[in-house]
Chains A and B, each alone.
Chain A
Amino acid sequence: MEFDMTKPVPETQPWSEKFWEGTKQGKLLIQVCKDCKSKIFYPRKFCPECWSGNLDWIEASGKAKIFTFSTAYDMVEPKFTDELPYTIAYVDLEEGIRMMTRIIECKPEDIRIDMEVEVVFQERGGYFLPYFRPVGKK
């Protein structure tokens, strides 16, 4: 059986490229609307609240809390089996944004809901994915 083993990279849009450029410099950027002041995630072409095109970026603190998580041991796509076990989580950034991510540098059994985590970037195919690790880990 032939499986495509290429690790996927984010399928970006022109208006999300800034986000991914930011990650290359170790910055987690959040799109903001200059008119209605909304913080927007994921990045859009127009503000989803007021349809303004007057959009900008701010740098997030990188601190977040785990809302929920699930650690995978089996039955993932073959292209990801070499990374098992791994933990997928939804994290809530201090800025009020929720993202999907991976939790790393922590034993799966030690991961808890509400755990405080911080961003750390992992390279894949020229992209730097925002992963999170427990706060204070070096």
Chain B
Amino acid sequence: MSKGKIAIIGIGEVPTRNMPERTHWDIIYDTCMEAIKDSGLHKNDIEGAISVTPQAQPKIAAELSFGKLPEELGLKGCKDAVSVNAGGASTSNAIRLAEQWITSGIAKAVLVHHVTVHSTIPIPDLINFFARAGVDLQWEYPYGTTYNIIMGLMANRYMHESDCKPEEMASVVTALRSWAAKDTNSFFYGKEVPSVEKVLASALLNTPLHKRESNVLGDGGSAMVIVSAEDAKKMKRPAAYKLGDSVRYFSGTCVMRDFYKVAEGFVVTAKEAMAQAGITKEDVSLWNCYLAYPLAHPLIAELLEVAPQGMGGKYFLEGRMSFGGDIPWSSIGDAPGRGHTGSGVSTACYVETARQLMGKAGERQVKNCKYVYQNAGGGSGFNNIATIWGKEI
């Protein structure tokens, strides 16, 4: 049980862009310094540093896992440093490790951060990495599958079972991009929000996925400072308290993943996390879902009982999950809205969860934001982690 032991008290982030001139360490300095300044702590108060391992970037991944960060930033009080890797579920695990360090007395304040620079990776390497990662090299890869195809397989089955229409699926992009257009850290900040017609008019990559329903890779990074809930309270600063955490493992190989078990996993993890937090779904102010692709959103909206069964797509099409709609949903626009920074999308989601609860989300601020549901998953969907965060304890 993790109810109320830790809180995020500082956040930092850089805009997601393709900027090869902005190095990994540029981003690390900017995000980590901003998060520590935002927490009100001194740099030397940080006693632990946890890096979310950057994917497909072996040089920076090695530097971070070999402990360079505290030295580079001059974190003189740091007692330990580590990298954590569970793909898109890395940040959830970094936060859990921070909780362990804090509750066991190893560290009073822990820095968790992520950095990714996709724009300097040679394109053939990038394509090859994403073709093989999370795909079984014996039973899947030889058939020519890709992440997009894995998502297409899931979406086609869902559309078959639910009767969800292509325009409803496309409207998820419109919803996610409507949030992104208001988010200064998004790749699509200030950009036109594509209409359903425009999404469907984009090239068909693989059925039923259109080009505008896939992701754009970007560079980015974000960071957060975590302390005990008790210390956060004493500091009398805006904070996001972790109130619930539940997880289910599905499978490492895509084809081994039982669709119905995954669905059940989303249902039970949400229920367990909410039970730990002592809340019900009616109490949730923001459903900050991290699913990496738009096509899974209608199904998840139904599993979370935010939309009735068979109505997930319709809710998106009606604009209920869009910026200004009545159901605040994925307020950075998930990966399709933010720009895909590999494992960093989930770090950015947790930072956004904290930002909303701290009341620092500006134009995107969800009114009276008291509780946030935040999920994450690793690999091509090997697990689902559901967490609940609150403004107060």
A residues apposed to B, CB below 8 Å: 1-4, 7-13, 16, 42, 67-78, 80, 83, 86, 88-90, 98-102, 108, 113, 124, 127, 129
Bound: A124/B143 CA distance, A: 10
A-B contact pairs, 16 of them (CB 8 A): A10-B139, A68-B154, A74-B204, A74-B205, A74-B211, A75-B214, A76-B131, A76-B144, A77-B128, A77-B144, A77-B146, A78-B127, A86-B144, A100-B143, A100-B255, A113-B156
Bound: A100/B208 CA distance, A: 18
Whether B142 and A69, one on each chain, are in contact in the complex, defined by CB atoms closer than 8 angstroms, is: no
Whether B143 and A4, one on each chain, are in contact in the complex, defined by CB atoms closer than 8 angstroms, is: no
Which of A69, A83, A100 sits near B254, CB closer than 8 Å?
A: A100
> How many residues belonging to B are interface residues under a CB distance threshold of 8 Å?
39
Whether A73 and B206, one on each chain, are in contact in the complex, defined by CB atoms closer than 8 angstroms, is: yes
Contact A77 B255, CB 8 Å, known A67-B157, A70-B207, A100-B140: no
Contacts of B256 in A (CB 8 A): 42, 98
Bound: A73/B149 CA distance, A: 10
Closest 4 CB pairs of A and B: A70-B152, A68-B157, A80-B144, A72-B206
Q: Is B201 an interface residue (CB 8 A)?
A: no
Whether B153 and A88, one on each chain, are in contact in the complex, defined by CB atoms closer than 8 angstroms, is: yes
Bound: A88/B153 CA distance, A: 8
Contact A71 B206, CB 8 Å, known A42-B253, A88-B143: yes
Whether A70 and B131, one on each chain, are in contact in the complex, defined by CB atoms closer than 8 angstroms, is: no
B residues apposed to A, CB below 8 Å: 122-124, 127-128, 131, 136-146, 148-149, 152-157, 160, 203-209, 211, 214, 253-256
Bound: A75/B213 CA distance, A: 13
Query: A9, A90, A129 — which one has the most chain B CB atoms within 10 A of its CB?
Result: A90
Whether A75 and B205, one on each chain, are in contact in the complex, defined by CB atoms closer than 8 angstroms, is: yes
Which of A4, A68, A73, A102 sits near B205, CB closer than 8 Å?
A: A73
Which of B136, B142, B160, B208 sits near A127, CB closer than 8 Å?
A: B142
Which of B141, B142, B153 sits near A68, CB closer than 8 Å?
A: B153
Which of B141, B209, B253, B255 sits near A70, CB closer than 8 Å?
A: B209
Contacts of B157 in A (CB 8 A): 67-68, 113
Bound: A132/B230 CA distance, A: 60
A107 smallest CB distance to B (angstroms):
13
Contacts of A113 in B (CB 8 A): 156-157, 160
Bound: A42/B252 CA distance, A: 12
Contact A42 B152, CB 8 Å, known A77-B128, A129-B143: no
Bound: A4/B128 CA distance, A: 9
Bound: A89/B255 CA distance, A: 9
Bound: A124/B256 CA distance, A: 24
Contacts of A101 in B (CB 8 A): 143
Query: A86, A88, A101, A113 — which one has the most chain B CB atoms within 10 A of its CB?
Result: A88
Whether B138 and A13, one on each chain, are in contact in the complex, defined by CB atoms closer than 8 angstroms, is: yes
Whether A72 and B142, one on each chain, are in contact in the complex, defined by CB atoms closer than 8 angstroms, is: no
Whether B160 and A129, one on each chain, are in contact in the complex, defined by CB atoms closer than 8 angstroms, is: no
B255 smallest CB distance to A (angstroms):
4
B161 smallest CB distance to A (angstroms):
9
Which of A3, A10, A68, A75 sits near B138, CB closer than 8 Å?
A: A10
A105 smallest CB distance to B (angstroms):
16
Whether B139 and A42, one on each chain, are in contact in the complex, defined by CB atoms closer than 8 angstroms, is: yes
Contacts of A42 in B (CB 8 A): 136, 138-139, 253, 256
